[in-house]
Structure 1
Amino acid sequence: MRRITAKCPTVEVPTMARSTDDTMALPLDVHVMRAAARSLLAEHADLFSEEQLETLTLQLRAHLMLAIPVVEALADRFPEDDVPSACAYSAVMEARTRLGLEPRRSVAGRGAYAQRLARSVNALCDHYENLSGGQPVVLDPERAALLGLWNHCLGCETCMARDEEGGNAHLPCATADRLYQVYRRAWHSPASASAETRGRL
């Protein structure tokens, strides 16, 4: 199958402040995130052009990739029997599932997919505000590495390239490969704060 590349729209993410112990202090801009979600859940959402829909979908995916490790890190602070954190874990799992799905080729199918992403964005914003009080969250090395990988991929034309059927072309990217290896090393590290909680997900 012939593969083609496509230039993806620029997706802005909040500035990440790195601390001295290789973690990241990261706030979520819930106002920007909710605004993006609201545009897809409004009554006129079906009037978006294909290009506008693609741009909004990429923005929502970026917001979810940013919010998932942050909300997960917040939930890790609470006991296993804590109800709000358990609900947050469920929202994280659902968001991950939706990120892994491929939308249908039709405009209606892509619109429905984007709306599901928008609902997950809203849900994670709710859990972030409920668990953090709106304060910045410090991420452990594993999640910081994962976030670095995601941030690269979202802004990389090679990683975001599409084939002629609209799916990801899976083109090789040396930078993404290197960042993935950094993430794998952090994931296997005994110092990873989330290692004890993976079984809960």
Structure 2
Amino acid sequence: TELFSDGKTTVVYATTEPLEALQLGGHTVVLHEGRLLQQGDTLDVFNAPNSIQTARTFSDPPINLMHATLEADGLAQLGAELAIPLNAAQRRGAAQHKNVILGLRAHSLRLSAQYGDDFPIEAEVELAEISGSETYVHLHRGRLALVAQLPGVHDLELGALCNAYCRPDDLFVFAADGALLFAPHQSPSGA
């Protein structure tokens, strides 16, 4: 208490838990294998990770990553019979790239549509694990593997098909080399 009263004290706190870093706020430095990946205001780093590696380090559960080919009509083709429409800002950010990697945080997937532009991804339930008041649902569709972090307790049958909904506006777009091309718009509160 006295130590911090004059405002001239700096505290360095190291954690491997993204939630702890978000709760502490302030200035965050993201390191991986001894290399500096990114530094800045904690919410800025969380909302706009400069690379896939930073997004992986700062996401728990890990960020969902989907390889895609961009089509002239604005669709991100994820494979046979699955294409996600990108918004104008996402297309501008990726304009010089044919192959990209889409990132989607687990909390951005839902089991029911909530917004008019929600996009369904039909997938098979591989595992549903309850952790406190949340359910982590592991899904797959061909080579595509996703994890959804759902509030509440959900009883999902293994092997069952379900739709996981996401807003295309929630997608990060990364270059094939992992560099950030587009981060979803965040409100000033970080929500």
Indicate the TM-score class for this superposition, using the shorter chain for normalisation. Answer: under 0.3
Q: TM-score, normalization: structure 1? A: 0.22
Query: Where is the strand percentage greater, Structure 1 or Structure 2?
Result: 2
Larger Rg belongs to: 2
Higher RCO (CA 8 Å, separation ≥ 6 residues): 1
